[in-house]
Amino acid sequence: MTMTTTLDRTTLDQLARGTHADPFAVLGRHDDGDGPYIRAVLPGAESVEAVDATSGAVVATLEELGDTGVFEGAVRGADPYRLKIRWPGGITQETADPYSFGLLLGELDLHLLGESRHFELASALGANVTSIDGVEGVRFAVWAPNAKRVAVVGDFNSWDRRRHPMRVRFPAGVWELFVPGLKAGERYKFAINGPDGAPLADKADPVAKSAESAPGTASVVAGPQTYSWTDEAWMQARAKKHEPDAPLSFYEVHLGSWLKDGRQVDWNFAIEKLVPYAAQMGFTHIELLPVAEHPFGGSWGYQPLGLFAPTGRYGPPDDFAKFVDAAHAAGVGVVVDWVPAHFPTDPHGLYRFDGTPLYEHADPREGFHTDWNTAIYNFGRREVQNFLIASGLHWLERFHVDGLRVDAVASMLYRDYSRKEGEWVPNHLGGRENLEAIGFLQHFNAVVRERVPGAITIAEESTAWPGVTRSTSEGGLGFHYKWNMGWMHDTLNYMEQNPIYRSYNHDGITFGLVYAFSEKFVLPLSHDEVVHGKGSLINKMPGDTWQKFANLRALYGLMWSHPGKKLLFMGGEIAQWREWNHDGQVDWPSIDDPAHVGVQRLVRDLNRIYAAEPALHRRDCEESGFHWVIGDDRANSVFAFRRLGNEGDPQVLVVANMTPVPRHEYRIGVPVAGRWSEIINTDSGIYGGSNVGNSGAVETAPVESHGEAQSLLLSLPPLAVIALRAG
C-alpha cells in the first residue's frame, strides 16, 4: 500500500475482487472521525482526483491502495464533488460519483414492489434515464433477493464487475444504482454473485425496455418515450370494435418472413407494406407472432427473454409504436402473441437468475417443460405474477397494442400437461389442475379489463377447460376470446378427406356446432397448421390441382360463414403451395397465377361481406344467431344453415356442397318469401371456379320444405359454398 487506510484487509480484498456486498458503506464520501475522505474502485486508472462540482478546484487526490484498483484520499471541504479520472492513453473522464447519491427508489415503489402490485414495473426496475440533483444519468434497479452481490456492467465500465456494485433495498430484494453521465443506447447487463458468493454468468435485464439484436444478448438503455401518438380517435372507439357482436378477422404474421423485397425488414418497412396490405384485404387486425425479445430466431418468438422489449431485429421501440399508430390510422388493430407460460434456459436470461430458482419452480416436475426444454414460471410466487402482468400491461399501455393472444394456456392449466405418471406433482388438493396458474390468469385478465378497457385477451387453449371466456366473477378465466382448436382440427380433418369418403366423416363439420357457443371463439387457421411437415393449407386439400383450389375456397367459405371470429396465417390467403419457412418469405410470385389471385380475391371479399352483413357477425357468440337447415344430408355431403343478426337484419342462408358433383334443383326451405341475393359463391369464375351458381339471385316458390312454407330451388356448385341474403 502507498498510504494508510481505515479499511481492513478483508474489506479491501473484497473490493478489489468484486465480492463486497455493501458498497455504499465504504465507497463515496465518508468520515472516519479524523476527517472526511473519498474512496472509489477504479481498476486500471492512472490517477484519480476529486474536484469541486462548481469550481472545478481539486479538493482531494486519491491514491491507489497497492495494486487493488481501490483509490482513497482525504477531502478538503467540497460537497458535491466530481471524480476526475485519468485512464491509460491520455483519456480523462470527469463524472459525478455514483456513490455520492442517496436512496433511489421511493417508498411508494418499494411498497408496491413488496405488495407485488407494481404494474408499471418498467418505471421502477430496469434502466431508466433520469436526473438526480441536477445530474443526468441512468438509474438501474433489479430484483435479485437471494444474490450476495449485484453490479451493473457494460461498455461504460469495460464490463468490469468490480466497478459499479449496487445497493440492496430490504425487504424488497431490489438492487439499485445511479450511474451519472450515461445516456440512452448504452449496452448493459447485471453481474450477480449467487447466495454462496460465486459469480454467475452476466444476466440481461428482465425488465429491459430495449435489447441488442441477436446474436447479441445485452440489454440496451432505452430513452424516455418520445413518440407522439395520433390514434386518440381509434383508442376511444376500439372497445366497440372488439365486442362479441363485431366482425373480427385476424391476419397472423411472422414479420421476418412475410416479405423481404430485398430490403431490411423493420417496422418502417411494415408500415409501408404490411399495414396497407392488411387494410386492403379487409382484415380488422394484424396479429403478430411474438415480438418480445428472444435469443433464438428459430423459436419464432415463442421462447422470449425480454418480456418488456420489442425485439431489436426490427428496429427501436419507438418504431414499433409508430407501426401500431400507422395501423390504427389505416383502421387496422394490432394484436401480439404473448408468452407467459415458460422461458428458455439461456445463461444470460431468467433461469436461476440470482443463483436460485427465482422465476421458475425448483422441482423440474413443476418447473421444466421437457417438450420445449424451457423453464415454467412459478405462478404461485406473487413477484412473478407481478412481473408477468406488468409485462402484458406494458404492451397494451406503452405501445397501444389492442390485444394479447396468450400462448400455450393449456400447458399452464394442467400440472400433468405432456407428462407421464410420476413426472408431475399434484396440487394441494390432489388434483391435476394448476391452481396457481389459474389464479394468475384470472388476476391478469381482471387487471387488463380494469386498466385497459377496450383491449382484448385471447387464449390459445386446446382442451375443453370450462369457462375460459367466462368472467372471473363467475369463476371463469376472464379471457375475451378463445381459439377454437376443436373446430380447426375437425374441419381440417374433414377437408383432407377425399370427397368420396366425406359422407362417413359428416360429423367433422356438424359436431363443432354442439359447443360453438360454449365460449367466445376465434376460428384459427394458424401458423401451427403449416409447419413441421404439415404442409400448406392447399396441399392438405385432396384431388387434382383444380379440386385443391376448389376445396380451399370452400374451406374459407365455411370458415367465414361459421359462427366465430376469424384468423388466417399469412400465405394462406394466396394459397401458397410451400410450407411456411421462417427463413423465407410468403410465396408472393405465385400471385402471377390466376388461381392464386382468385383465392386472394375471395379472402378479401369474404372479409368485406363478413363485415358488411350483420347476420354474419352480430350474434357470432350466441346460439340464437345460428340455425341448422340441413345437417343430415350425408349422402350428398351438403350442409345448409342460416345466420341471423338482430331484429331487422337480413338473414343469410349458407349452403355447402362438399363433393365435386354439381347439384341442380336442390330445394331448401327458407322463412322469408321473395328474392334471395347470392352474396358469395366460392365457385365464381372471378375466384377461379367453374361459375356454377344462381345468376346472382333466386326467388322463393310457395313449396313447403324443411318446415317452411316457401323454399328456394338452388344450383349447388361443386366443392363450393354459396351464401344468399334475404331481401
- At residue 3, the pLDDT reads 57
Amino acid at 561: S
- At residue 534, the pLDDT reads 94
Closest CA to 149 of 181, 121, 177: 177
C-alpha cell of 647?
331484429
CB 657 within 8 A of CB 602: no
Q: What is the DSSP letter of 105?
A: S
4 pLDDT higher than 80 = no
- Preceding omega of 171 cis (within 30 degrees of 0): yes
**Residues in contact with 623: Cβ distance below 8 Å, sequence separation at least 6, in sequence order:** 516, 517
According to CATH, the superfamily of the domain at 107-220 is Immunoglobulins (2.60.40.10)
* Mean pLDDT for the stretch of residues 139-143: 98
- At residue 32, the pLDDT reads 76
- Measured CA to CA, the distance from residue 539 to residue 537 in angstroms comes to 5
Q: What is the DSSP letter of 64?
A: E
* Mean pLDDT for the stretch of residues 431-437: 97
SS3 628: strand
pLDDT in tens, 303-338: 999 999 999 999 999 999 999 999 999 999 999 999
- Measured CA to CA, the distance from residue 513 to residue 526 in angstroms comes to 20
- At residue 321, the pLDDT reads 97
Closest CA to 162 of 60, 26, 40: 40
Closest CA to 205 of 226, 177, 171: 177
SS3 607: helix
Fold for 232-483, please state it. Answer: TIM Barrel (3.20.20)
Average pLDDT, the chain: 96
* Mean pLDDT for the stretch of residues 192-219: 96
SS3 87: strand
Q: H or E segment at 464?
A: none
Return the percentage of the chain with pLDDT > 70, whole number: 99
Residues marked active site are found at 407, 460
* 329-366: b (≥16 Cβ within 10 Å) or e: ebebbbbbbbbbbbbbbbebbbbbbbbebbbbbeeeeb
- C-alpha count within 13 angstroms, C-beta hemisphere, residue 468: 24
pLDDT in tens, 586-615: 999 999 999 999 999 999 999 999 999 999
CATH of span 9-100: 2.60.40.10
CB-count exposure of residue 28 (10 Å: 0-12, 13-18, 19+): middle
* Mean pLDDT for the stretch of residues 95-108: 96
Global confidence as pTM: 0.96
C-alpha cell of 427?
396440487
CB-count exposure of residue 425 (10 Å: 0-12, 13-18, 19+): middle
pLDDT in tens, 235-285: 999 999 999 999 999 999 999 999 998 888 999 999 999 999 999 999 999
Closest CA to 644 of 634, 635, 655, 653: 653
Instruction: Identify the band that residue 508 occupies on the pLDDT scale cut at 50, 70 and 90.
Output: very high
Continuous H helices in 452-593: 485-495, 507-510, 512-515, 537-540, 545-561
- At residue 262, the pLDDT reads 85
Q: What is the CA radius of gyration of the chain?
A: 31
- At residue 560, the pLDDT reads 98
Q: DSSP characters for 392-450?
A: HHIIIIIS---EEEETTHHHHHBTTTT--TTSS---TTS-SB-HHHHHHHHHHHHHHHH
- Measured CA to CA, the distance from residue 695 to residue 638 in angstroms comes to 20
Pairing relation of β-strands 720-726 and 652-657? antiparallel
Q: H or E segment at 456?
A: strand 456-459
- For 244-366, strand residue ranges (E) read 249-253, 285-288, 292-293, 306-310, 333-338, 342-344
226 pLDDT higher than 90 = no
Closest CA to 97 of 180, 12, 175: 180
2 pLDDT higher than 70 = no
- C-alpha count within 13 angstroms, C-beta hemisphere, residue 362: 4
Domain boundaries for CATH 2.60.40.10 within the chain: 9-100, 107-220
* Mean pLDDT for the stretch of residues 475-479: 97
Q: DSSP characters for 514-526?
A: HHTTSS-EEEEE-
- At residue 1, the pLDDT reads 41
Q: H or E segment at 140?
A: strand 135-143
The dihedral sign for the CA sequence 440, 441, 442, 448: positive
* Mean pLDDT for the stretch of residues 120-143: 97
Domain boundaries for CATH 3.20.20.80 within the chain: 232-483
pLDDT in tens, 676-700: 999 999 999 999 999 999 999 999 9
C-alpha cell of 582?
421462417
- Measured CA to CA, the distance from residue 543 to residue 717 in angstroms comes to 16
Pairing relation of β-strands 652-657 and 374-376? unpaired
154 pLDDT higher than 60 = yes
CB-count exposure of residue 214 (10 Å: 0-12, 13-18, 19+): middle
CB 305 within 8 A of CB 204: yes
- At residue 34, the pLDDT reads 75
493 pLDDT higher than 60 = yes
Q: What is the DSSP letter of 165?
A: B
- For 208-322, strand residue ranges (E) read 219-220, 249-253, 285-288, 292-293, 306-310
* Mean pLDDT for the stretch of residues 73-93: 92
